[in-house]
Chain A
Amino acid sequence: MDSLAALVATTMNAGTPLLLAALGIVVSERSGVVNLGIEGMMLVAAVLGFSVVHWTGSYQLGFLAGAAAGALLATLFGALTLGLLTNQFATGLALTLFGAGLSAFLGQPLQGVTLRPRGPDGIPGLADLPLVGPAFFAHHWLVYAALALAGVVAWFLFRSRGGLVLRAVGESPESAHALGYGVRRIRFAALAFGGACAGLAGAYLSTVYTPLWSEGMVAGRGWIALALVTFATWRPGRVLFGAYLFGGVTMLQFHLQGRGIEVPTQLLAMTPYLATILVLALISRNPRWIRLNMPASLGKPFNPNA
């Protein structure tokens, strides 16, 4: 039973960066913008978050730095795609390539550096319960914050006026513009929120999850988060389910190894990527279903002067 508790605990731990990044993507894509730069933003945030924790010893400052870096890069992406009307796919790829280069560059002196250990995680009292304690209540606070964020994003998108406007911008920017809403301003805000979430996810990876910096350590999680959002049809509740499912898939490999099942590590490490491909194939099989759920203006530029 202990191993079951460990599986639950590691699943939540591995699912959290995916959940954080994917929630940010839901909000930005609901406003009609595709940002393929998530991976790059996570990498830069991971290296900055790690170095801030390394230099100041404060994890909170590290998360803040990660989120700020993500938001800043997302603003740069917004300046190009919303201000200069560049192609969103190409610009996102540019951001990912730039982020990979910049993070490798900034992180060169941080290779092999370890962080000062932080205090015990978890909810005092509850964490000491047998079985459910280590499984559910002994996590870093960001794990619970990410769960709460899923609720907040769901409430915002579907129960608040602001969310309604955001979705209107994503469905038909022309109509929203005609009603007097600042399409660009709303998209900028949505992008910045998405960037901050991706940054938080990156900082969590490098300071809590691993906690080490190594080049390219995000290892495609930004892309998996993008796939997750399609899989979850842009709904926060399903994103939560999908993120934990993928967290579980990532972790299953270690548990199989722990049980002495002899499969080469490299082949086991392929599972999250293969699972992403499999899920994408299954979910995309019905194009009508995707079209029904996808924000109608997703990826299309909008020029109020055209």
Chain B
Amino acid sequence: MRWPLALVPRAQPSLPLTWLSPVAAAVLTLLAGALLFFLMGKDPVQGLRVFVVEPLATQRGWSELALKATPLMLCAVGLTLCFRANVWNIGAEGQLIAGAIAGGSIALLATSRTSPAILPLILFCAALGGAGWAAITAWLRDRFNANEILVSLMLVYVAQLLLSWLVHGVLRDPQGFGFPQSKLFESTARMPVILAGTRLTIGFPVALATAALAWWVLARSLIGFQLKVAGLAPRAARYAGFSSRRVLWFVLLLSGALAGVAGALEATGPVGQLTPSISPGYGFAAIIVAFVGRLHPLGAIAASLLMALFYIGGELAQSRLGLPSALTGVYQGLLLFFLLTCDTFIAYRLQWRRNVPARA
């Protein structure tokens, strides 16, 4: 198997390509998407218009975009810190659900006369719930050296079953005709809408502020420096006396807390109650968002808006074109595949094999 082309490492990773790669990946995904529309007997141009242009045509569309981007952004910012520190937390979905359970349980206590002070309390408890869920992964990794990928993922299934158990049991709405869902939250326990006539809540500015704060932590703080070194060169970090345990706990608790807040913002925002399917896979999509955002907190803002577009596009493709909304998942997977492919050329360049110097 002799390929005519060989990958030769660049002396320096290419900085322009680092930021061009996600753009190229997005374009390739849309092209592949157009091909997919064509294969399903739809007009590819019209398909892309429904998927990409229509969601952005109205103010309401933009507000929905920001609404869907909120949980993605919060989860992705947390995962960005984890992945930078070489901690492979892929269980943000479970941490999001744990936060929704914790925050939602507080929200259920509210009556029509509860003071707005309950809103920060809801978010605080959600952060605790998410961080607590992530703490299981951190503890097992720290104490028993258990692989955090597998543990955090297993805990997603456990969290989903826990939520299902709760809304089938103690948290079920007694007047809900037996549907597995909690009663609707009182309006006092709902996140305030910031744009009249839309569903966009205070969660979006919270997510933006979080991304900015995470950028500060990563770029300017000691723990941010420590986690970057721990990720890039674990031995150098040890030599410098940085505690790898501290970094592990810090990134996992923080990302868990952010995912938990995302869960509560969803439950007390657009959803308005606890249901078994509180999240359409935001925690998993956030993994893709983190990579597309170049593991940079500010990049995660742009990438989460792109991913939110795919969610809305999938819904529109279902209602307008009669296609399964699961199309969103196909697009998400394709995006990450294309991104990883394009990323290769940041560190390598292609060269004709006859020009490659023989290996010593």
Contacts and interface: CB of A to CB of B under 8 A. Distances in A.
Interface in B190-248: none
A230 interface: yes
Contact of A101 (B153, B157, B332, B341): B332
B161 interface: yes
Contact of A80 (B164, B165, B341): B341
A303 B7 contact: yes
A1 interface: no
B158 A101 contact: no
A40 B153 CA distance: 14
B51 interface: no
A97 B332 contact: yes
Main SS class of interface, A:
helix
B356 A305 contact: yes
Contact of B329 (A93, A101, A282, A285): A101
A220 interface: yes
Interface string B1-30: 101001111000000000000000000000
Residue from the set A215, A219, A306 with the largest chain B CB neighbour count within 10 Å: A306
Nearest to B347: A85
A97 B169 contact: no
A182 B340 contact: no
Interface stretch (A13-21, A235-243, A266-274): A266-274
Interface string A99-137: 111101100100000000000000000000000000000
Given A80-B337, A97-B332, A108-B326, A85 B7 contact: yes
A280 B328 CA distance: 33
Given A101-B328, A226-B150, A266-B165, A86 B157 contact: no
B343 interface: yes
Given A220-B154, A284-B144, A305-B6, A101 B333 contact: yes
Nearest to B341: A84
A297 interface: no
Interface in B274-288: 281, 284-285, 287-288
B324 interface: yes
Contacts of A264: 165, 168-169
A89 interface: yes
B184 interface: no
B343 A86 contact: yes
Interface string A71-107: 0000010001001111101110111011111101100
Interface string A190-201: 000000000000
Contacts of B359: 304-305
Contacts of B281: 100
Nearest to B336: A94
Contacts of A267: 161, 165
B112 interface: no
A98 B333 contact: yes
Nearest to B160: A266
Nearest to A108: B324
B337 A98 contact: yes
Contacts of A89: 88, 149
B149 A36 contact: yes
Interface string B44-78: 00000000000000000000000000000000000
B109 interface: no
A70 to B, nearest CB: 16
Interface in B327-349: 327-334, 336-337, 340-341, 343-344, 348
A270 B337 contact: no
Residue from the set A94, A182, A273, A280 with the largest chain B CB neighbour count within 10 Å: A94
Interface in A240-282: 264, 266-267, 269-270, 273-274, 276-277, 280-282
B121 interface: no
A298 interface: no
A185 B1 contact: yes
B344 A86 contact: yes
B304 to A, nearest CB: 16
Contact of B150 (A87, A94, A276): A276
A127 B342 CA distance: 55
A230 to B, nearest CB: 7
B341 to A, nearest CB: 6
Would you list the 5 A-B pairs with minimal beta carbon distance, nearest first?
A101-B329, A98-B333, A266-B165, A104-B326, A94-B336
Interface of B: 1, 3, 6-9, 88, 90, 140, 143-147, 149-151, 153-155, 157-158, 161-162, 164-165, 168-169, 281, 284-285, 287-288, 291, 324, 326-334, 336-337, 340-341, 343-344, 348, 356, 359
12 contacts: A91-B340, A94-B336, A100-B329, A100-B333, A102-B330, A105-B330, A219-B157, A227-B154, A277-B150, A280-B140, A287-B145, A303-B9
Given A101-B333, A224-B154, 5 more contacts: A89-B88, A266-B162, A267-B165, A282-B144, A305-B8
